[in-house]
């Protein structure tokens, strides 16, 4: 039994909210046997006549029945548990994570293990706009996927993963499935330009038995055709430039299945009103709509330039969704390329002044500190001037 039954029900109902809505209706019935049609409508935010139409078709294919409220049949239970991946789930934990504010103490053992995993991450490469989110932020993103029904039984892709969201997703699945994430029917893919990160995540996937596969990939190039339109959900934390957002979201659209209502979880810096307006216009141009904006959702370590925080923007696909950048991309992308600033740093010991910036010998202050002052090898500097390249 596969998801063709959902496809069939979708074809019989006049609905523009996507197939995922039908799955959500079925899950509401599965988790609350005897639920009323009105309660289903309240939970799904669908009109009552539409819920009644969906219910009618689900009854026809033998997945539910009307008996002291709405209930799953034996066939419906098998469908949810085996095909959709909810069979071996810790129902109590799932419901708490979905509807209540979770606390790290609740997942204490898992979070303790992840702390050492996150401490072992490769150092950030600021030339490609990497920054390290906190462990709590990475896990919050995983819980957000669960709350959007984008975790269990899904094909998930992370476009860039210096934040190890793939690992948090997989560890959360292990927690929900009593240490066997494979029972969730979830598959997680990571596309990442930094081979240090792909190597680290691949190592974790092997040693911790995580359902993650990594590929080294530069999003400025066209995506391999075998990955196009395969995924149910996208996570990305792109370079915080207009170009970076447009490119990474375009690649996300190319990877999403051709369906309505699929989420893109976009982490992005808080920007000025004019920048935000341009960003929203780009979303509309790509046929995406914003379902929620969560300010200060993400916290980072050592990212003072953005106040160590960024927002989470949840986007959904529509029938009009299409990428704005289809083929290879050859223009400026990262912050250092778009805003070509040269910074002059003075050595605190010998007062030698060194230029740092795009296409210079030292592109970042981190690189200069690592190598030391070219005059005396001292590692402490003071910023004395900034100028346009």
What single string gives the DSSP state of each residue in 264-297?
Answer: EEEEE----HHHHHHHHHHHHHTTEEEEEEEEEE
52 CB-near residues (< 8 Å, 6+ apart): 37
pTM: 0.86
pLDDT at 389: 61
Alpha carbon distance 73, 210 (integer Å): 33
CB 249: neighbour CB atoms within 10 A? 27
- Which stretches does DSSP call E strand in 243-380? 263-268, 288-301, 309-317, 341-347, 353-357
pLDDT at 306: 66
Alpha carbon distance 150, 109 (integer Å): 24
Residue of 50, 62, 49, 43 lying closest to 18 (CA atoms): 50
pLDDT block averages, 10 residues each, the chain of length 389: 83 87 95 96 92 95 94 96 94 93 85 94 80 93 97 97 97 95 96 96 96 96 96 96 95 96 96 95 97 96 77 97 94 75 88 83 80 92 82
């Amino acid at each position: 039994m596969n998801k063709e039954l959902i496809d069939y029900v979708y074809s019989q109902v006049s609905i523009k909210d996507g197939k995922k809505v039908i799955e959500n209706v079925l899950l509401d019935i599965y988790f609350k046997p005897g639920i009323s049609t009105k309660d289903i409508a309240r939970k799904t935010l669908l009109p009552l006549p539409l819920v009644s139409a969906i219910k009618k078709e689900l009854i026809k294919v033998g997945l539910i029945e009307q008996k002291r409220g709405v209930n799953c049949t034996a066939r419906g239970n098998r469908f949810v548990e085996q095909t959709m991946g909810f069979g071996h789930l810790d129902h109590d934990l799932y419901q708490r994570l979905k509807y209540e504010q979770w606390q790290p103490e609740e997942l204490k053992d898992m979070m303790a293990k992840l702390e050492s995993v996150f401490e072992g991450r490769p150092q950030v490469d600021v030339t490609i706009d990497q920054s390290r989110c906190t462990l709590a932020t990475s896990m919050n993103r995983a819980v957000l996927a669960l709350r959007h029904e984008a975790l269990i039984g899904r094909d998930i892709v992370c476009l860039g993963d210096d934040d190890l969201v793939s690992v948090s997703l997989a560890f959360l699945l292990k927690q929900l499935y009593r240490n066997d994430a494979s029972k969730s029917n979830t598959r997680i893919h990571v596309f990442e330009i930094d081979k240090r990160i792909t190597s680290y995540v691949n190592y974790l996937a092997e040693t911790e038995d995580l359902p993650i596969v990594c590929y080294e990939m530069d999003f400025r190039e066209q995506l391999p055709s075998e990955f196009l339109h395969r995924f149910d959900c996208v996570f990305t934390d792109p370079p915080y430039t207009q170009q970076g957002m447009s490119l990474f979201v375009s690649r996300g659209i190319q990877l999403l299945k051709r369906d309505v209502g699929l989420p893109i979880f976009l982490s992005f810096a808080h920007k000025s009103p004019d920048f935000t307006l341009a960003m929203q216009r780009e979303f509309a141009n790509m046929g995406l709509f914003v379902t929620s904006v969560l300010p200060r959702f993400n916290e980072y370590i050592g990212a003072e330039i953005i106040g160590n925080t960024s927002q989470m923007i949840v986007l959904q696909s529509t029938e009009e969704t299409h990428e704005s950048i289809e083929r290879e991309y050859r223009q400026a992308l990262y912050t250092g390329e778009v805003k070509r600033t040269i910074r002059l740093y003075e050595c605190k010991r010998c007062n030698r002044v060194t230029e740092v910036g795009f296409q210079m010998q030292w592109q970042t202050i981190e690189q200069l500190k690592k190598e030391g002052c070219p005059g005396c090898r001292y590692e402490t500097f003071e910023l004395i001037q900034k100028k346009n390249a």
